[in-house]
Amino acid sequence: MSGVFFSSRWVEPPPGTEVLDPAALAQGFAAGAVACGLKPSGNTDAAVVVARSERCDSALLLTRNAAAAAPVRLCRESLDLNRIRAAAVKAGNANAATGEQGMRDAIEIQAAASEALGLDPSLVAIAATGKIGEALPMDRVLDGVRRAAAAVHPDGGEEFARAIMTTDAFPKRCTVRCEGVTLSAQAKGAGMIQPGFATMLCFVQTDALADDPAAALRRAVSSSFERITVDGQMSTNDTVLLQASGESGRPLPEGLLDAVLLQLALQIVADGEGATRVCRAEVRGAESVEEAERTARAIANSPLVKTALFGHDPNGWGRVAQAAGMALAGEELPELGLDRIDVGEFAGELREAELSVRLDRGEHSACVWFSDLGYEYVRINAEYTT
């Protein structure tokens, strides 16, 4: 896995895991993408992934943002969550904060994709990413969805991953095989990344038998997408879909989904808008896992800590102490001096850094991965057009 998985220290796939061409999808799946004019660049921006066989066990997780976009609200209301056969995705326009017209547009997009694929609308999820608050050019979108549905093929993973990108510098995708099971996944995300649970779009296909895909997905997300942050902002459109065709006739190998989702999560942090470094913040000795995670997240989201990471600041430990203390405001605990903070490679030149904080309040621990914060983040978001 070396050179393909982001970090051998942080990602541990099951023994014998083989990396395949990321264009290849798991057995029983097909994907395609076309350009319909949502992105100013003219790049592909409408994509479809579909399970060919009637059997498809599924699980779906969606953003907790109270201002959830129309596609998210429609998925909550209309889908048979255990049997989702397909997803139609558009990039360049989030269809968020678009009122009732946005909801009507979402319904129309789902209907167009369903008709093109010959599926009931309750089996077709929709997702979107891009600018918020802009009406959709529906003629172009509907044409793009129909053409993408007609263009699906078994090696469409790479083009699907590229089509769902917005400010991403590179596509996030991975296809692996282990114990006779293939798992493919595609994700997007670079900014507006803060774990409410997912913080981006991610689509996972496997030919494994999945007895409880919802439980498997929740577990994998809790140790991957829920533990990353770029800028502390929760998206209106977060979507994670797992589909299992069962065509291999084999169960999902333990740890495979977890490793792939952590791989994609770390790729998102590494591609944080303007990011130059990634850091793992660990908090040990907390009274509870919740306390440990809250403290780690306060460190990871601190602009002072993130800019210190960007500047390779050897005095960054003081900023770490401040952020941890803020998370524990009102608690009685020993002073967070140098003896309790190990900045490790924080001030070094490595792209992957680590730091840890010891609280001596209990036996619990948690970690969060985060990116640094530099000049480029401001430029990208000040000039954002997709």
DSSP sequence for 76-100: HHH--TT---EEEEEEEE---S-HH
Q: Using an 8 Å Cβ cutoff, are 292 and 299 in contact? A: no
> Using alpha carbons only, what angle is made at residue 201 by residues 45 and 17, rounded to the nearest 5 degrees?
110
CA distances from 263 to 3, 280, 351, 374 (A): 12, 14, 16, 23
> What is the rounded CA–CA span in Å between residue 260 and residue 176?
8
Matching residue, tokens 């065709």: 245
Residue 182 known to be catalytic: no
Q: Is the dihedral of CA 366, 368, 369, 374 positive or negative?
A: negative
Question: 3-state SS string over 286-352?
Answer: ECCHHHHHHHHHHHHHCHHHHHHHHCCCCCHHHHHHHHHHHHCCCCCCCCCCHHHEECCCCCCCCCE
Find the catalytic residue in 199, 229, 236, 295.
199
Other beta carbons less than 10 A from residue 68's beta carbon: 19
- Per the CB < 8 A criterion, the answer to whether 110 and 151 are in contact is no
- For 285, the token pair is 């000795």
Question: Under DSSP, is residue 142 helix (H, G, I), strand (E, B) or coil?
Answer: helix
CA distances from 80 to 74, 84, 201, 217, 386 (A): 12, 6, 19, 16, 32
Encoding tokens for residue 326?
């803020």
User: So which residues are the catalytic ones?
Assistant: 199
